[in-house]
Amino acid sequence: MDIKAETPDAPSLIGPDEAPPFQVINPEGKASLLLVCDHASRAFPAATGILGLDEAALERHIAWDIGAAEVTRKLSHKLDAAAILAGYSRLLIDLNRQPGDPHSIRDISDNTIIPGNVGLTEAEQKQRVESFFHPYHQAITDTLTHLWRRRPAPALFSVHSFTPSLGGEDRFWNIGVLWGRDPRLAVPLLDKLRSLEGLHVGDNEPYSGLDVGYTIDLHGGAAGLANCAVEIRQDLLEDDAGTERWADILATIFTDLLTIENLHQVEHH
């Protein structure tokens, strides 16, 4: 399967020699599962620069989900599953928010002003949508469609990471499972994570899937596909050993979860 970014109506902010707005890994993977990583990258195109920030800001969680991309890549390999990873920083536009949402293109993130996002016109915001948002979500649609046509219906799993402290409050979970109304993937995943010694597991923590779940709602929930997301604390993903450990944990669990009978049926909850 060959997936390419479509040319938007407005001039793209991504130059012809720059990285595409998404990366597809293992599109012919045998698992009936699609992995997605909305905040995989801290890259910026030349057209925007780094939005008036200093280089140190790009190392922080405000620019990307630290470690999430590597967990996704490794999990794709271990499960032989297709994966879609975002190609550019969440500061340009958050791919896990509805365009127009105040959190879609932030002026301020974790008390840091984003100068290049202040005072954007509607046309400039739409250019971000066309350049980064629509191609990424179209790639997810195309890949899910491909997997679905092969049968059975695929599950959708989104990988994120979170900062250990936000707004002066410490967040003590090692991992949280985010989900909405469909329990088929989330509940057995929670059960298996909680059975592992030494893990502090959050149920809809540090965010609730009922509040923050645009990607899995759009591509999973609306289609009746089993879906959920995880948030892994980023200090557990700061080196290769950490991302390997979490990819191993999730791969072992998913090897069992993917055999659940009704996981691959279309059910609207």
Answer whether residue 217 is part of any domain: yes
User: Amino acid identity, residue 207?
Assistant: Y
- The candidate with the shortest Cα–Cα distance to 194, out of 178, 174, 223, is 174
Strands 227-233, 155-162: pairing is parallel
Q: How many domains does the chain have?
A: 1
DSSP state of 31: S
Range of the domain at 200: 22-264
Instruction: Read off the CATH number of the domain in which 39 is found.
Output: 3.40.630.40
Answer whether residue 14 is part of any domain: no
pLDDT of residue 126: 97
Answer whether residue 193 is part of any domain: yes
- The candidate with the shortest Cα–Cα distance to 104, out of 215, 221, 231, 219, is 215
Answer whether residue 4 is part of any domain: no
DSSP state of 71: H
Answer whether residue 5 is part of any domain: no
Q: Is 238 helix (H, G, I), strand (E, B) or coil?
A: coil
Answer whether residue 15 is part of any domain: no
Answer whether residue 7 is part of any domain: no
Torsion of CA 27, 30, 35, 41, to 10 degrees: -40
- The whole-model pTM stands at 0.95
Residue pLDDT, tens place only, 122-152: 999 999 999 999 999 999 999 999 999 999 9
HEC string of 196-219?
CCCCCEEECCCCCCCCCCHHHHHH
Answer whether residue 10 is part of any domain: no
State which H helix or E strand residue 192 sits in.
helix 183-194
pLDDT of residue 165: 82
Number of Cα atoms under 13 Å in the Cβ half of residue 226: 23
Residue pLDDT, tens place only, 214-229: 999 999 999 999 999 9
Both tokens of 257, joined, read: 């979860």
